[in-house]
Amino acid sequence: MSDLALKVACRYLYGGLFEPPPAMVDAAVDQAKKFYIGHMIAEAHSYRYLEPEFAKKRVAYLKRKVPGAVVEENTSKKYKMPIDLEGWKYRDVIEKHKDKQRMPFYLLKLTKGKYYSKSEASWNRRTHIMSLKYPARPTGTERDTAWLGKEIAGYFRDLQFSIRHEMIHLAQSLFSYVFGHERPGGFEEPPPPGPGLPSKKIMTPEFQQAFSDWEYLSPQDQQYYQSLWEKVKPLNLHPLVMHTLEDLEFYADLSSFIGGLKYDFRNIKDREKRKQRFKKLLKTTDFFSEIKRAAPGKWRKYMKEIYKELI
């Protein structure tokens, strides 16, 4: 890639939506599936109210679902994962700099939570750890295999979306690393308008959620973010809206939302029907109206990308 082409690519990346490396998404999803099914296999083996013959059938069913899954007793596990750029749209941009930079690994941390606890997913740009926690479910006595299949399929679908979302943040960090924007201690997002962040024209720094990095901020920065937070509190926005309006989260949330809509609209082939379905969604949810009220520029970007991808 020529230097001019590289500059053009970077300019697009710095202001636009991009997909995470598919090979890396698939590798993380496969590892998480084995971890999840491994706990279900362990439960089927150990659950004292489950008849031996039924337990045997349950284990065979689970192993067919995810070949290679084995009994998993650990409630938390870390996997060292390579940065695999195979099949990625922007691989050539990275490859140009690969000989100048030491390509990093990242850690995938999987955790089994308490029964019916909240699912959690996050990317830590300081430690390079992607964390996923799923809630345990008391399925040991459930004899309905069809029900169990739906439970597993639903979790796998959510898992795909969650990992893809966090991989977008990893990609943001990776581009920052490759292009030399990282701060001391790791490959992190640069000051705006860094990779995967919206253009300055529509940025909303007042929605910056700096609380996860609070301990690393200077007293002056803490005071600055606190003052921004005080300004937006009166808007009384839904937490999901607050999250998506953070500049670092905007394109990642938009990508996740489009992915969810594509899944929901997968059986609607007619363009006009998809359009009408989306218009109905706009009228029946406060999510978009709150974005429009708080950040009109980002709302317009949301609409433009959704219509481009779906309508």
Q: Concatenate the DSSP letters of all residues of 157-186 into one string.
A: HHHHHHHHHHHHHHHHHHHHHHTT-PPTTS
Count of alpha carbons within 13 angstroms of residue 251, beta-carbon side: 24
- Asked whether 130 and 106 are in contact (CB, 8 A), the reply is yes
Token pair 């809206």 is found at: 241
**Residue-level pLDDT at 192:** 46
- Asked whether 306 and 258 are in contact (CB, 8 A), the reply is yes
**Residue-level pLDDT at 180:** 62
**Residue-level pLDDT at 31:** 93
- Asked whether 201 and 297 are in contact (CB, 8 A), the reply is yes
Name the DSSP letter for residue 285.
-
10-residue mean pLDDT series, the chain (311 residues) = 47 55 90 90 72 80 88 90 82 69 78 78 84 73 66 85 88 73 43 66 79 67 78 86 88 85 88 90 89 94 88 76
**Residue-level pLDDT at 216:** 64
Residue among 162, 120, 129 at smallest CA distance from 20: 162
**Residue-level pLDDT at 119:** 79
* Tokens representing residue 152 in the block: 């597993």
Contacts 24+ apart (CB under 8 A), 47-51: 47/140, 47/141, 49/140, 49/141, 50/140, 50/141
How far apart (Å, rounded) are the C-alpha atoms in residues 257 and 253? 6
Count of alpha carbons within 13 angstroms of residue 19, beta-carbon side: 15
Token pair 């279900």 is found at: 40
Please tell me whether the overall predicted TM-score, pTM, comes out greater than 0.85 for this model.
no
